Amino acid sequence: MTKLDTQLKETLQSKAREIRVDIVKMLTKAQSGHPGGSLGMTDVFVSLYFGGLVKHDAKRPDWAERDRVVLSNGHICPVLYACLGHAGYFPKEWFDGLRMVNSHLQGHPAMHKTPGVEACTGSLGHGFAMAVGMALAMRADKRDSHVFALLGDGECQEGLIWEAAMSAAHYKLDNLTAIVDRNDAQIDGRTSDVMSLEPFADKWKGFGWHVIEIDGHDYDAIFAAVNEAKVTRGKPGVIIARTVMGKGVSYMEAEGYKWHGKAPSAEQGEKALKELLAST
């Protein structure tokens, strides 16, 4: 596996720290939302948006040749919003309105509210099905663009996920890559206790997908996996990214699924920010 340039890796690590800080600030102010998965998937999102893995242009959110990033598990939208804000899709002042009535940043992605959001998602499984449709449309239009669908592992308990997966494999959608947040956590407990997904990788293989398993906090692995998925021909690719719920905040990491959908109090938010800022 090719190692990333040291300067690029340091840039990504610095950006990830900034994104995590803004996630904590947004959720602490809103006193509502989903910190665990947002913090856990930060390294993946930073790699996509700031590592050159996704073709996009903040000045032209509707650019026809852009890649599409569809957040199917829409509840972790704080990480998407933070990345879009830092990329220049909208002013960072919008962060203060997270989950407020009529704000630009709703509690789940709303494409008519937020530049850079490709689909209204949150009803689990639906975003993935829409991503399959986008990949089909791009092929029909002969566009050299790629679709990335971000999924939660708890979301993969939904039947719609597997209907869409079967369809994508049938149509050999090699312009589609799914990235699954494999943190073994959902709102009621560990996925292994609530509804076991194993053998998870074998399920995807059985549905005809090219499967790559990685550490979702390892930038070298993230880049290698995305690039491998993009050059694989004849079948869609899925990256199973093992992540830590609440990554970067010690008490969230320790309590796992309990931070799936619970915002930090003012005191907890302050503690989280001190930890994140001390990691510079």
Task: Write the secondary structure of 91-102 as one string of H (helix), E (strand) and C (coil).
Answer: CHHHHHHCCCCC
229 lies in some domain: yes
Name the residue range of residue 52's domain.
6-278
44 lies in some domain: yes
Amino acid at 185: A
210 lies in some domain: yes
Contact (Cβ atoms closer than 8 angstroms) between residue 26 and residue 78: yes
In Å, the largest CA–CA distance within the chain is 52
The reported pLDDT for the residue numbered 280 is 67
Number of domains composing the chain? 1
State which residues of the chain have pLDDT below 50. none
The reported pLDDT for the residue numbered 279 is 81
Residue for token pair 């309105």: 97
DSSP-derived secondary structure letter, 3: P
The reported pLDDT for the residue numbered 77 is 98
CATH code for the domain in which residue 129 is found? 3.40.50.970
14 lies in some domain: yes
How far is CA 44 from each of CA 35, 83, 101, 133, 256, rounded to the nearest angstrom?
15, 11, 29, 23, 19
How far is CA 46 from each of CA 42, 88, 216, rounded to the nearest angstrom?
6, 14, 11
**Both structure tokens of 224:** 């290698």
Report how far residue 151's alpha carbon sits from residue 203's, in angstroms, rounded to the nearest whole number. 15
Amino acid at 173: L
208 lies in some domain: yes
Check: pTM over 0.95? Answer yes or no: yes
97 lies in some domain: yes
1 lies in some domain: no
Report how far residue 41's alpha carbon sits from residue 146's, in angstroms, rounded to the nearest whole number. 20
Contact (Cβ atoms closer than 8 angstroms) between residue 146 and residue 177: yes
Report how far residue 12's alpha carbon sits from residue 74's, in angstroms, rounded to the nearest whole number. 23
204 lies in some domain: yes
Report how far residue 268's alpha carbon sits from residue 249's, in angstroms, rounded to the nearest whole number. 10
Contact (Cβ atoms closer than 8 angstroms) between residue 124 and residue 155: yes
The reported pLDDT for the residue numbered 91 is 98
